[in-house]
Structure 1
Amino acid sequence: MIVLTNITQLVLMILSVGLFVSTLEYIKKIQIFAPNGLLSWNVMQLNWGQQDQKTFLKPLFKLFSQSGLATLFVIRCLLLVGLVFFQLQSVFGWILISLLAVSLLTSSLITRYGSDGSDQMSMLIVITLVLCHLPGLASPRLADIGLWFIGLQACLSYSVAGIAKLASAEWRASTAIRDVFSTKTYGSQKASMFLQKYPAANGFLCWNVMIMETLFPLCLFLPWPYAMIFLIWGFTFHFFTAVIMGLNSFFWAFMATYPALYFINHQMPWHLF
């Protein structure tokens, strides 16, 4: 029997690990938010017009300073630790995750150019959990809807990414992964040399990613033993992406959706086979 509370808590715990790691990374490289840093507020505030800068942006100057953001990230770490001890279904647990959502939304104003799909997925999960566990309105039905939304969003993300790759000439020509591994930002010399030595591996990896991403929503309908093939593939894909390309935030953000996928699969009244 599936316990809804346990599934929701597992989603939160996996996501919390990822957010804790990424927040520690921000603390370690806090100098990028210095006045002459890559994500300096002196530059990021230019996203808004001059009139806006004279009104609501000025109070953010101190918050988005190097020391202000360091404080915000430390507070976020404390919130994440607190969520380990307080259930999301409790009032205090809901307050903690609500404050976590506020911290994520606030920092997104200055990290928008350094964010990626994992940040969007993390934000989506946190806000969904906040809305679906609102004290006084929370119910098993609403929590159920939240898990469905998270799981379907994960499937949509995979499928859209797969279709976009199928439309790409570089991916169909089986050169995309090799080219990415050859870059300085996301590359790996060992992986690049391996793919140059074994060209057939390029085709296998490219088409494997395209097909599995495109067909990923099947994990909702197939009997669980077969659905696990997609989840094991996803785990392996994100794990090696984290190891080789350094995109560890994607691993935790998408692994957090897998309990929801498990929940949806077991809620299906029928399967394709």
Structure 2
Amino acid sequence: MSAKPLESVDRALAQVEAVTAFGIALTSLEYLMRPDTLSDKGLQSWLVERTRTKKSSRRRADILNVVFRPPGIQVIFAGRLLAASVLMNPRSSQQQRTVAVLFITATTYLLQYRIRYGADGTDHMTLVAYSALAAARLAPNDKVVKEAAAWFLTGQTMLSYLAAGLAKGAGVPWRTGMAMPGIFRTRVYGDKRVYDLMKSRPRLSKAMSWSVIIGESVIPLALIAPKKTSWALMGLAGSFHGANALFMGLNRFVWAFVGNYPAVVHCAKNLSLDDYSLRELGRLLPKKES
């Protein structure tokens, strides 16, 4: 018997799971390949991290050592790698995918408490995305919940771009073109080739800064723009993340944000101006009585 074809929203959410899972698998492998980072003497030692708050530093919080110190923390990342593999496997059953999503959601919350140094927008977007995906998985027969999850993912993604664009536009360093050379001269996010290029060409630096400001600010228009324009805007956003991965080492951003695009495309189909021709819009206007 052939499998029942997936509804549009089911297909979109499954694609979100598969793409974002690749980023989770990548991150898990990085931590598993560098166990010293999370060891007691490592840069992200739990013995140091737990002193951030009074509650976690008390003796009664020693139970957290079981999961947050090696080998417990490695077990968590190994489990996330396995769960991500399930979501990337198109042959996984719905029950397996549900367990995988719930496990990733729960451990993402745990890791927000365990790993605070180095956390960025990727971690926050992953937390948001899997909270929505978990809600959809817990209501497998409720299309309203699934549509709400897709719209929530879409809203969060577009809001992230808009907020980033407006925040940069409000900053003098970005408007004057000084922000990007400053970023590319740092050791963590820098690239000497790009820095030297922008340092020697201030006009290019300013033009690039404004292209980022305007680009991030207009990406949400992809929800209502005609289909070709919408695809161009989403391509622009994806290229932006690709450039960040290439020149700044922000490879996780690609999977966390681009992974939500299937939900964005699904929701945009209900809002695109392509759905309404000028003639159809004219018919909606009240007619003048003769």
Aligned counterparts of 2:110 and 2:91: Cα–Cα separation in 1: 24
Alignment of 1:195-210 (within 5 A): 195-210=198-213
Partner of residue 18, structure 1: 23
Paired position in structure 2 for 1:238: 241
Equivalent position amino acid for 2:156 in 1? Q
What amino acid is the match of 1:183?
Answer: T
Match of 1:96 in 2: 100
Letter in 1 for 2:221: L
Residue 118 of structure 2: which of 111, 114, 122 is its match?
Answer: 114
With normalisation by structure 1, the TM-score equals 0.92
Q: Which deviations, in whole Å up to 9, do the C-alpha atoms of 1:143-185 show, x marking residues without a partner?
A: 1111111011011001111111011110011111111111111
Is the 1:31–1:66 Cα contact (8 Å) retained in structure 2? no
Task: Name 1:268's counterpart in structure 2.
Answer: 271
Match of 2:180 in 1: 177
What percent of counterpart residues are identical? 25
Partner of 2:37: 32
Q: Are residues 145 and 51 of structure 1, via their aligned partners in 2, closer, same or farther at CA, if it must alter by over 3 Å?
A: closer
- 2:252 — aligned with what? 249
Of residues 192, 195, 199, the one that matches 1:192 is 195
Alpha-carbon distance in 1 for matches of 2:265, 2:93: 20
Q: Is the 8 A contact 1:186 1:246 kept in 2?
A: yes
SS in 1 for 2:114: coil
2:13 alignment partner, one of 5, 8, 11: 8
Change (3 A) 1:151 1:115: same
Deviations, residues 16-41 of structure 1 (Å, cap 9, x unaligned): 01111111111222212122222111
How far apart are 1:108 and its partner, in Å? 2.0
Measured after TM superposition, the shift of residue 89 of structure 1 is: 8.1
Equivalence for 2:131: 127
2:150 corresponds to 1:147: yes
CA distance in 2, matches of 1:196, 1:174: 10
TM-score of the superposed pair, with normalisation by structure 2: 0.87
Distance 1:178 1:72 in 2: 38
Where does structure 2 lack aligned partners over 5 or more consecutive residues?
A: 1-5, 279-290
Return the alpha-carbon distance in structure 2 between the equivalents of residues 269 and 71 of structure 1: 45
Structure 1: unaligned runs, 5 residues or longer: none
1:66 to 66, 70, 77: 70
1:49-99 Cα deviation digits (max 9, x unpaired): 1587233x2111132113221121111111111223467982332112101
CA RMSD of aligned residues (A): 2.2
Task: Answer yes or no: is the 8 Å Cα contact 1:87–1:93 preserved in 2.
Answer: no
SS in structure 2 of the partner of residue 185 of structure 1: coil
Q: Distance in 1 between matches of 2:235 and 2:176?
A: 26
CA distance in 2, matches of 1:152, 1:50: 35
- Residue by residue over 1:175-206, the C-alpha shift from the partner in whole angstroms, topping out at 9 and shown as x without a partner, is 11111111111100111122223332211210
Retained in 2: the 8 A contact 1:118–1:250? yes
Report the count of equivalent residues: 271
Structure 1 pair 123/50, CA: closer, same or farther in 2 (3 Å)?
Answer: closer
> What amino acid is aligned across from residue 52 of structure 2 in structure 1?
N
Q: 1:74 to 1:171 in 2, by over 3 A?
A: same
Aligned to 1:42: 47
Q: Distance in 2 between matches of 1:262 and 1:208?
A: 23
2 CA distance for matches of 1:129 and 1:225? 28
Q: Which amino acid aligns with 1:43?
A: V
